[in-house]
């Protein structure tokens, strides 16, 4: 016996309306963030109390710049996936929910672009 | 077909408090808090790209007692979310769901998040003093 509704069987999708992409993307970014986060904490500790020139020089190092970019991509992707679930759980009106999701996803993308731009500007000697 | 007479699950206040439910909602709360924390990270990076004056402003705000308090909170939130995230990844392999195991792994996460926060700040203060 199947517990799926006839309509659900026809469409082949559950009430989430998508497959497992969201779940997997959240896990993959989570795994990536374990080493990246630990590296970032280590980096911030090594820069504790450092002045502008020291921090700029640190970010001009290609390895640090690349790891910062990877951290930014993984962080903001993971963040918008997580916040999406929070919004879907607590906001039930369809219109307001879609509005909140748009603002949150647009905001996340904007923050990610700003962070990545800042890293590149410093890294390229701006 | 009608699904109108399906039983509803009880609301949250029906259940007796358990630490596993607290660990669960703290994971979500720290996740949302860390999302707020990314604003500081972006501000810090943008200020660094903008120049010494902007960067010094961020450093002075972060270095104030309120800034340091926020930073301490975010450090703990980061380590809690990181440790509990690893607990979740372990669950994804289908292991660790026994009631005692799930509760004990939650205790380990709490202890680890506090210890790592303490170690990080002690190291940070030592580094700050050295510079």
A68-80, pLDDT tens digit by residue? 999 999 999 999 9
Which of B28, B38, B131 has its CB closest to that of A79?
Answer: B38
Long-range contacts formed by A22-28: CB under 8 A, 24+ apart: A22/A81, A22/A84, A25/A77, A25/A81, A26/A78, A26/A81, A26/A82, A27/B89, A27/B92
Question: Is A9 in the B-facing interface, judged by CB distances under 8 Å?
Answer: no
B109, two tokens: 């996460």
What's the gap in Å between the CA of A11 and the closest CA on chain B? 16
For chain A, where are the alpha helices, taking DSSP H only?
6-11, 21-46, 52-60, 62-90, 94-123
DSSP state of B92: T
Question: Is B29 in the A-facing interface, judged by CB distances under 8 Å?
Answer: no
A52, two tokens: 């502008």
Distance CA A100, CA B41 (A): 23
Q: pLDDT confidence of A13, banded at 50, 70, 90?
A: low
What pLDDT shows up at residue B16? Answer: 87
pLDDT tens for each residue of B9-49: 777 788 888 899 999 999 999 999 999 999 999 999 999 99
What pLDDT shows up at residue B8? Answer: 78
Instruction: Pick the closest to residue B74 from B39, B24, B48 (CA basis).
Output: B39
Distance CA A31, CA A37 (A): 10
pLDDT tens for each residue of A79-104: 999 999 999 999 999 999 999 999 99
Interface predicted TM-score of the whole assembly (ipTM), two decimals: 0.90
């Amino acid at each position: 016996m199947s517990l799926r509704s006839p309509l659900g069987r026809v469409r082949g999708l559950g009430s989430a309306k998508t497959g497992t992409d969201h779940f997997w993307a959240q896990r993959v970014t989570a795994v990536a963030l374990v080493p990246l986060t630990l590296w970032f904490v280590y980096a911030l500790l090594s820069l504790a109390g450092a002045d502008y020139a020291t921090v700029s020089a640190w970010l001009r190092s290609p390895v640090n710049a690349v790891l910062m970019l990877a951290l930014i991509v993984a962080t903001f992707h993971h963040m918008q996936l997580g916040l999406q679930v929070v919004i879907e759980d607590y906001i039930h009106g369809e219109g307001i929910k879609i509005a909140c999701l748009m603002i949150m996803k647009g905001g996340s993308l904007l923050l990610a672009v700003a962070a990545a731009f800042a890293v590149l500007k410093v890294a390229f000697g701006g | 077909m009608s699904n109108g007479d399906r039983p509803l699950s009880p609301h949250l206040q029906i259940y007796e408090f358990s630490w596993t439910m607290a660990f669960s909602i703290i994971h979500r709360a720290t996740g949302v808090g860390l999302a707020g924390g990314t604003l500081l990270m972006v501000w810090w990076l943008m200020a660094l790209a903008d120049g010494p004056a902007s960067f010094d402003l961020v450093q002075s705000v972060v270095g104030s007692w309120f800034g340091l308090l926020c930073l301490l909170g975010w450090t703990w939130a980061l380590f809690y979310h990181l440790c509990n995230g690893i607990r979740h990844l372990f669950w994804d392999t289908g292991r660790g769901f026994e009631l005692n195991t799930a509760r004990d792994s939650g205790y380990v996460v709490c202890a680890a998040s506090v210890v790592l926060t303490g170690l990080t700040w002690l190291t940070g203060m030592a580094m700050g003093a050295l510079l």
